[in-house]
Amino acid sequence: MTPERHVDNFHNLKYSFFHARDLLRGAWGRLRYDHQPAETPLELGKIKRVVINRIDGKIGDTVCFAPFLRELGRHCPDLEIVILANEQMRAVYNQIPGNFRLVMCSKRPHGREVLNICKRIGECDFYVHLVVNLKSRELSFIHYLNPSWVATLDPNLKMDSLRLSRYTSPVKGRGLHITQILDCILSEGGITQIDHAYVRFFEREVAISKIQNTVGIVPYGASDNRRLSDESIKVIADRILRLPGVKAEIFAVPGDRSHLKDFLSSNYHDEPRIALAPLLLGMRDVFVHAASYRAIIGVDTGTAHVAASYDVPEFTIYSNDVVNFNRWHAVSDRATNAAYDCCALSAVDNERLGRDLDEFISKTF
């Protein structure tokens, strides 16, 4: 057996172990905490406190949730809206219009942390956590906060009052987008006049940005399956550089910068119009750069939603994960969302990618 095969077997065994552990914990959590929901309809205008769990939320999630939070606060001015978030997103949530109580939490809180946070918050009337399979620690939040109404995307959770999972589907074009699911919460709670406009984060900083005539390339997302091959990056860069006077910047987190520097040195050593984007140290920098580009071309990640919120033309590359595409694709008249028949974006068909980019560029520039 080759060393590579040994490594694959180890990773498969490790995944199976953790998956079995999570299933066991989840089953135990449901036995302990799951209960029948309230029988009375949710009326958002009459409840006192809602807790919205966004601990695992990142840039794209926050952009999509922001109009919902703004509208909830606008229509229910006496409602205490508590947002559970990770520290990384504090500056972003502080940009959303309205009065919210931010409670910071680690992304994977242990039992004692969950209990202490819930004691700080106090019991709530309504709890929102839009994930499909709630784990034991996530169920413990519901147990300690003791809400009368619960909204999740978990089809097997008895305590889920709104049953939003009925709006999700593995069939292309049938599952609702996350923003539409959030609209369902508002409408089922009695709010019908909804402003769907995006919140434009860091708008003042974007207005004075000095980035000009530059296309952003975003080759990597949050998971290993959302990483383009060097060949695909070159397909994108070559087409941008054909445009007279247009520059290109490649988004890169610290761990990817060394590889991308080598990529640029090997392929574009004498081309001054393409470079790595500056090292972006905070959320504000990421938002300002993404919103200031002439266009963005890249994978399914948070910058696609920032571009949508600022009407920046974008070409976003998706895999064949239909559920993810239905729920999280960029929503904008200027967004081109291209889904490819592959599980990992490293296997994108580059001939088709080139044709799709040619069409996008012809209508954008």
pLDDT at 135: 86
In this prediction, residues 204-229 reach a mean pLDDT of 94
Tell me, rounded to whole angstroms, the distance of Cα 365 from its chain centroid. Answer: 28
Percent over 70 (pLDDT), the chain: 90
Digit-coded pLDDT (tens) for 164-214 = 999 987 777 778 999 999 999 999 999 999 999 999 999 999 999 989 999
Question: Pick from 222, 245, 249: which is nearest to 233 by CA?
Answer: 249
4, pLDDT greater than 70: no
Digit-coded pLDDT (tens) for 315-352 = 999 999 999 999 999 999 999 999 999 999 999 999 99
d(CA 287, CA 300): 16
Tell me, rounded to whole angstroms, the distance of Cα 62 from its chain centroid. Answer: 7
pLDDT at 338: 97
pLDDT at 19: 53
Domains 33-188 and 204-364 share a fold: yes
pLDDT at 7: 43
Digit-coded pLDDT (tens) for 107-159 = 888 889 999 999 999 999 999 999 998 888 889 999 999 999 999 999 988 88
User: Integer distance in angstroms from the first to the last C-alpha of the chain?
Assistant: 53
Per-residue three-class SS string for 234-266: HHHHHHHHCCCCCEEEECCCHHHHHHHHHHHHH
CB 236 within 8 A of CB 354: no
Tell me, rounded to whole angstroms, the distance of Cα 31 from its chain centroid. Answer: 30
pLDDT at 2: 54
Q: Would you call 205 helix, strand, or coil by DSSP?
A: helix
Question: Pick from 354, 323, 47, 64: which is nearest to 173 by CA?
Answer: 323
CB 267 within 8 A of CB 259: no
119-157 core/surface letters (b: 16 or more CB in 10 A; e: else): eebeebbbbbbbeeebebbbbbbbbbbebbbbbbbbeeb
DSSP output for 186-209: HHHTT------PPP-TTHHHHHT-
Question: Pick from 197, 216, 220: which is nearest to 63 by CA?
Answer: 197
Q: For the chain, which residues make up each domain, given as ranges? A: 33-188, 204-364
Digit-coded pLDDT (tens) for 66-91 = 999 999 999 999 999 999 999 999 99
* Beta bridge mates, 315: 297, 336
- Residue 14, burial from CB neighbour count under 10 angstroms (0-12, 13-18, 19+): exposed
Predicted TM-score of the model (pTM): 0.88
Whether CATH 2.60.40.10 fits 204-364 = no
Instruction: Output the CA angle 132-164-88, nearest 5 degrees.
Output: 50
d(CA 35, CA 28): 13
- What superfamily in CATH does domain 33-188 come from? Glycogen Phosphorylase B; (3.40.50.2000)
In this prediction, residues 20-31 reach a mean pLDDT of 56
Q: Is 59 left (phi over 0), alpha (psi -120 to 50) or beta?
A: alpha
d(CA 205, CA 284): 8
26, pLDDT greater than 60: no
- 266: phi then psi, degrees, rounded to nearest 5: -75, -30
- How is residue 75 written in tokens? 């229509």
